């Protein structure tokens, strides 16, 4: 390990870009970043050789009422709630994790691609595009990776609103 | 590959792959015999397992996730159980941990021997393929004697294990390992001295340490390029804390190094299983597990035979998960194949592909 694998280091590195921190577990640091700052934050970690990108997880947070369950009650955002998509960039260094969390609204689900910094992210980004419908401008390949060729456009299976097709096979 | 600027020739391979037994589609652009570009299309065995987990209970999901892959089913169940137990704040008894570790390592033996056979077959060395698959039966029989199954052993329960290993079985495992160790020595000799075989592996598919890190390679593929990356060492889970594993590294970064790393790992695995059997903790096999898992998110990972397996588990406090994300080691290693392919002869492609030990079911899910 040629770099200093501690959460403090990561926290210091990400200071300029962070919107908020969280320590969900002793070996994990969650950092909220905006879509615009994501690339700078990733660049910072890569430059310092802080671990490697292990995975990108997509999460769907539908607006309450849109899909049952999940009422984001008590949250400070009292504005009319719109569903959001969240992308989690998990960086792993030895046994600790830093997760960059990017939240984007349904109406503008755009996150810049990080493939020019980490080329191996392309497969993860393609999954995110197909399964959640996040747009990733700058990503090298827009071709389908996992869904069938005749899968209808605009249907994103890992969003909570997708509950299957009416007929067992897509039309 | 979209319409190419020049008049390059594109060779499509798959989905019915001539070399591997699982479907994947590749397009190699060639200039004469030399590959100039490669692209990949997966998903032919995509079953939507991640989505399916959201509609099933925590217990049902254990059995679903074990079926992501037939070769490394145990490690999926283990990574998932570890994550869910972490969320529930449950500690698994030490004997159960030890049994999980033994089965995980037996699975590694079976997977590496399976790979050795397939790789030898791709290299046109069918004798080695027959030998290694014959010997692999030994470990399959051992797994069957523990769990009753040759594949999908399903040893895990949330909060423990289903099967105990008694003294008689331990003796059988020891005898089996002795035989396998002797055979593995022979394989090591073959893959490092057989001239014909070396002609297919030495200096082929070179990947430097820097490249491997940049491309995010994991598991034996990364370790053959000198990248110190092994979850069992970096972040010990199960019994790997009490029974540490030595990391197996090679620096050559070619196909031969990938053979040597995996065979060395077999030796290390034999040693580890013997050590655990000699110091088997006593006690319970299971502990109580709540049906509803408290709200939270966790990351759980394990070293699958092919490399780091990653699970992200999010619970909303109910008896069903909110989201389970699985990132399998094969997906990370594709990047390395695609970029290694460039500059090689088309005839080397099957060996290169098989060199990362790809598992399509795993990365399609």
A155 burial type by CB count under 10 A (0-12 exposed, 13-18 middle, 19+ buried): middle
Strands B9-13 and A96-105: unpaired
Contact check, Cβ <8 Å, B41/A147: no
pLDDT (tens digit, 9 = 90+) per residue, A39-73?
888 888 888 778 788 888 888 888 776 444 444 44
Q: Helices B94-122 and B255-278 sit at what angle, rounded to 10 degrees? A: 150
Q: Comparing B41 with B109, which gets the higher pLDDT?
A: B109
Of B43, B50, B213, the CB nearest to A158: B50
Length of chain B: 365
B36 touches chain A (CB under 8 A): no
The span from the CA of A141 to the CA of A137, in Å, is 10
Q: Are B250 and B226 in contact (CB under 8 A)?
A: yes
Q: Comparing B254 with A80, which gets the higher pLDDT?
A: B254
Mean pLDDT of B59-86: 88
Length of chain A: 171
DSSP states along A27-74: TEEEEEE-GGGHHHHHHHHHHTT--EEEEEEEEEEPPBTTBSS---TT
What radius of gyration, in Å, describes the C-alpha atoms of chain A? Answer: 17
- Backbone phi, then psi, for B235, in 5-degree steps? -145, 75
Mutate to test the interface with A, among B15, B43, B210, B221 (most CBs of A within 10 A): B43
B211 touches chain A (CB under 8 A): no
Predicted confidence at residue A68, as pLDDT, reads 47
- Enumerate the β-bridge partners of residue B32: none
Q: What was the ipTM of the complex prediction?
A: 0.78
Residues 113..152 of A with a Cβ closer than 8 Å to B: which? 118-120, 122-124, 131, 141, 143-148
Predicted confidence at residue B6, as pLDDT, reads 56
The span from the CA of B152 to the CA of B66, in Å, is 7
A53 touches chain B (CB under 8 A): yes
The structure tokens listed for B90 are 């449950």
Split at pLDDT 50, 70, 90, the class of A171 is low
Delineate the domains of chain A, giving CATH numbers in brackets.
1-68+81-171 (3.30.460.80)
- Residue A161, Cα to own-chain centre: how many angstroms? 18
Lowest-pLDDT range, A15-24, A100-109, B76-85, B137-146?
A: A15-24
Domain-by-domain residue ranges, chain B?
57-329
The structure tokens listed for B93 are 């008894």
B20 burial type by CB count under 10 A (0-12 exposed, 13-18 middle, 19+ buried): middle
What is the 3-state composition of chain B as percent helix, strand, coil, each rounded to the nearest 5?
Answer: 50, 15, 35
pLDDT (tens digit, 9 = 90+) per residue, B164-181?
888 888 999 999 999 999
- Residue B10, Cα to own-chain centre: how many angstroms? 31
Q: Are B109 and B142 in contact (CB under 8 A)?
A: no
B331 touches chain A (CB under 8 A): yes
* Fold annotation for B57-329: Cytochrome-c3 Hydrogenase; chain B (1.10.645)
From first CA to last CA, the distance across chain A in angstroms is 52
What radius of gyration, in Å, describes the C-alpha atoms of chain B? Answer: 21
Predicted confidence at residue B266, as pLDDT, reads 92
């Amino acid at each position: 390990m040629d770099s200093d694998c501690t959460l403090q280091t990561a926290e210091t590195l990400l200071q300029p870009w962070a919107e908020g921190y969280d320590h969900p577990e002793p070996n994990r640091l969650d950092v909220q970043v905006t879509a615009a700052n994501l690339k700078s934050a990733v660049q910072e970690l890569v430059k310092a050789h802080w671990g490697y990108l292990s995975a990108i997880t997509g999460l769907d947070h539908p607006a309450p009422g849109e899909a049952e369950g999940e009422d984001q009650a008590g949250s400070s955002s009292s504005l009319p709630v719109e569903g959001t998509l969240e992308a989690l960039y998990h960086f792993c260094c030895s046994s600790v994790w830093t997760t960059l969390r990017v939240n984007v609204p349904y109406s503008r689900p755009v996150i810049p691609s990080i493939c020019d910094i980490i080329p191996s992210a392309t497969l993860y980004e393609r999954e995110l595009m197909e399964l959640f419908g996040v747009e990733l401008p700058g990503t090298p390949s827009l071709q389908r990776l996992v869904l069938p060729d005749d899968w209808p456009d605009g249907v994103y299976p890992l969003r909570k609103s997708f509950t299957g097709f009416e007929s067992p096979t897509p039309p | 590959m979209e319409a190419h600027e020049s008049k390059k020739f594109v060779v499509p391979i798959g989905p019915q792959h001539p070399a591997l037994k699982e479907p994947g589609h590749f397009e190699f652009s060639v200039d004469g015999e030399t590959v100039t570009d490669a692209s990949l299309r997966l998903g032919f065995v995509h079953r939507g397992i991640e989505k399916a987990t959201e509609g099933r209970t925590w217990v049902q999901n254990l059995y679903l996730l074990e079926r992501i892959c037939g070769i490394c089913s145990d490690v999926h169940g283990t990574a998932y159980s570890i994550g869910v137990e972490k969320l529930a704040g449950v500690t698994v008894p030490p004997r159960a941990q030890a049994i999980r570790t033994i089965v995980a390592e037996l699975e590694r033996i079976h997977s590496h021997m399976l790979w050795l056979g397939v790789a030898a077959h791709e290299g046109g060395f069918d004798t080695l393929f027959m030998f290694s698959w014959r010997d692999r039966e030994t470990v399959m029989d051992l797994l069957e004697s523990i769990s009753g199954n040759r594949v999908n052993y399903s040893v895990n329960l949330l909060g423990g294990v289903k099967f105990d290993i008694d003294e008689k079985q331990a003796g059988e495992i020891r005898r089996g390992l002795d035989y396998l160790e002797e055979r593995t020595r022979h394989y090591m000799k073959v893959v490092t001295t057989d001239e014909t075989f070396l002609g297919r592996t030495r200096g082929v598919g070179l990947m430097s340490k820097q490249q491997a890190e940049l491309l995010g390679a994991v598991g034996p593929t990364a370790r053959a390029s000198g990248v110190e990356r092994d979850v069992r060492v970096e972040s010990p889970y199960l019994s790997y804390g009490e029974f540490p594993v030595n990391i197996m590294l090679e620096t050559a970064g070619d196909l031969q190094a990938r053979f040597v790393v995996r065979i060395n790992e077999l030796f290390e695995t034999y040693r580890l299983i013997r050590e655990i059997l000699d110091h088997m903790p006593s006690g319970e096999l299971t502990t109580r597990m709540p049906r509803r898992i408290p709200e939270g998110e966790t990351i759980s990972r394990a070293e699958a035979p092919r490399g780091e397996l990653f699970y992200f588990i999010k619970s909303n406090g109910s008896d069903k998960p909110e989201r389970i994300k699985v990132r399998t080691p094969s997906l990370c290693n594709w990047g390395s194949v695609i970029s290694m392919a460039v500059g090689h002869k088309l005839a080397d492609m099957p060996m290169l592909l098989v060199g990362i030990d790809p598992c399509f079911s795993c990365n399609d899910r």
